[in-house]
Amino acid sequence: MEHFRQYVDGAFEEGAVRFASLDPATGTPWAEMPGAAPADMDRAVRAADRAFHAPAWAGLSATARGRLLARLADLVQEAAPRLAALETRDTGKIIRETTAQIAYVAEYYRYYAGLADKIEGAHLPIDKPDMEVWLRREPVGVVAGIVPWNSQLFLSAVKLGPALAAGCTIVLKASEEGPAPLLAFAELVHEAGFPPGVVNILTGGPEAGAALVSHPLVAHVAFTGGPQTARHIVRASAENLARTSLELGGKSPFIVFEDADLDSAANAQVAGIFAATGQSCVAGSRLLVQRGIKDAFVAALTAKAEAARIGAPGDMTTEIGPLCTLRQREAIERIVAQSQQAGARLVTGGTVPAGEGFFYPPTILDCTDAPEAPCVTQEMFGPVLSVVAFDTEEDAVRLANATPYGLASGVFTQNLTRAHRMVRNIRAGIVWVNTYRAVSPIAPFGGHGLSGHGREGGLAAALDYTAVKTVWLRTSDDPIPDPFVMR
């Protein structure tokens, strides 16, 4: 069994309880993890608060903070193969994906390294004589970061990068499912030379998470996860009145018009729903396809789904790995069964393969006659595509927006004016046109409605971790007159 530790105030610790992590490809324990108790979270937040005020961090120039982030970026890049192997082992995400994703995670740290000394205040042309007024942008304080199991290194980079660039300190809670890569990443934070307490990384379940987000010294909660947990977090933030940024799930529409390049669209749709075995917040899980091409397009997808190599996630040739947890697979099986009862037609997949591990095959359900089936309305977080046919552009917009979520969307068409209309009319935080799943540290990422609020990535994310301080300075040497003496 491999052994992992938590990282608090610059030291590595065993944690209050130890728990076993399962290898999703076999269902057997492979590593022992440190579980944080609420008291550990309290210590970590206090350490982050001390570090926030200590000269070793608060006294650093923004440029020096940027240098630390740049060093971290280099270390992540060097360690990428090891981190990728750990993530693959602990979450079942295939090695092809973890290798590419973690190499790119280094770019997020590099982007925020460069941004640290470009977070500027402002001078105001104030409407009063003898006054100078300017704005300082100051870090908000201690950030609580909470991430789900999928892509933990990526989802924490979009919190750590901007928060540290802004000068905040952070306590990050890894998911209790698959925390290995984030706990190993703590060693790189240590090696990069961040002062003790600036970054703290622990893991644990809802109890540990609740202790973190409700802590009175937390100023901002940056959460990625499901809407139900987000509600707990918003309620908890009523105690400390912390700011929140919420990156939640989605039921993102992938819209294909008859005039689209269908080969490109099919490849993008396959990647959009089956990458990460569907455990992706931006999964294009609702295919809306124009009726005239539906059968041909679904046949093309089916052929690709059935040809996908399902297997050991650590094998470079594997295309579909297991789900992260058995619980997740059971939830998917349940929704697929309920959807079939509601009239959805199973096109391919839908049967758990024999053998060990938490595997589930790429699955397509035609829901054209059952547009209210649970697989169309509920986020499944698995490799299940629901298909609904549409006739007109208006129908496509109506179906696309018929969801309380609003994270991502994809539009495939060669018609330029239609593409622009769709961009305008779709209610989502991201619209990809003739592409899908593209991300960059330079581009904001986030959603509306049940998909949450706030944006990660880009300059705006760093500004989100700052508060504006308005400074008024009187430049006159004349004494301020006594207000109680009549003139």
Q: Nearer Cβ to ligand NAD, position 5 or 159?
A: 159
Catalytic residue among 247, 319, 379, 456: 247
Distance (Å, whole) CA 251 – CA 381: 9
Q: Which of residues 401-430 bind ligand NAD (CB under 6 A)?
A: 407
**Shortest distance, CB of residue 404 to ligand NAD, whole angstroms?**
13
Rule CB under 6 A: choose which of 233, 275, 289, 430 binds ligand NAD: 233
Burial letters 407-422, b for 16+ CB under 10 A, else e = bbbbbbbeeeeebeeb
**Shortest distance, CB of residue 364 to ligand NAD, whole angstroms?**
20
Is position 224 an interface residue for ligand NAD (rule: CB under 6 A)? yes
Q: Nearer Cβ to ligand NAD, position 99 or 252?
A: 252
Write the DSSP assignment of 39-59 as a string of letters. HHHHHHHHHHHHHHHSHHHHT
Is position 5 an interface residue for ligand NAD (rule: CB under 6 A)? no
Rule CB under 6 A: choose which of 73, 94, 168, 213 binds ligand NAD: 213
Is position 171 an interface residue for ligand NAD (rule: CB under 6 A)? no
Is position 206 an interface residue for ligand NAD (rule: CB under 6 A)? yes
For 404, other C-beta atoms within 10 Å of its C-beta total: 11
**Shortest distance, CB of residue 312 to ligand NAD, whole angstroms?**
23
Rule CB under 6 A: choose which of 15, 141, 249, 272 binds ligand NAD: 249
Please say if 247 is a catalytic residue.
yes
Q: Are 406 and 264 spatial neighbours (Cβ–Cβ below 8 Å)?
A: no
Binding mask 119-158 for ligand NAD (x = CB under 6 A): ---------------------------xxxxx----x---
Is position 83 an interface residue for ligand NAD (rule: CB under 6 A)? no
Distance (Å, whole) CA 31 – CA 18: 10
Place of tokens 């789904």: 305
Rule CB under 6 A: choose which of 226, 311, 314, 343 binds ligand NAD: 226
**Shortest distance, CB of residue 305 to ligand NAD, whole angstroms?**
21
Q: Nearer Cβ to ligand NAD, position 166 or 428?
A: 428
Is residue 438 exposed (0-12), middle (13-18) or buried (19+ Cβ within 10 Å)? exposed
- Main-chain phi, psi angles of 203, to 5 degrees: -140, 170
**Shortest distance, CB of residue 174 to ligand NAD, whole angstroms?**
7
Burial letters 81-103, b for 16+ CB under 10 A, else e = eebbbbbbbbbbbbbbbbbebbe
Site size toward ligand NAD (CB under 6 A) is 27
Rule CB under 6 A: choose which of 140, 248, 289, 332 binds ligand NAD: 248
Q: Nearer Cβ to ligand NAD, position 23 or 366?
A: 23
For 22, other C-beta atoms within 10 Å of its C-beta total: 20
Contacts 24+ apart (CB under 8 A), 297-304: 297/256, 297/262, 297/265, 297/266, 298/347, 298/364, 298/366, 298/387, 300/262, 300/263, 300/266, 301/266, 301/269, 301/270, 301/364, 301/385, 302/347, 302/348, 302/364, 304/266, 304/267, 304/270
Give the interface with ligand NAD as residue ranges (CB under 6 A): 146-150, 155, 173, 175-176, 205-206, 209-210, 213, 224-226, 229, 232-233, 247-249, 281, 379, 381, 407
Query: What residues are annotated to the active site?
Result: 247
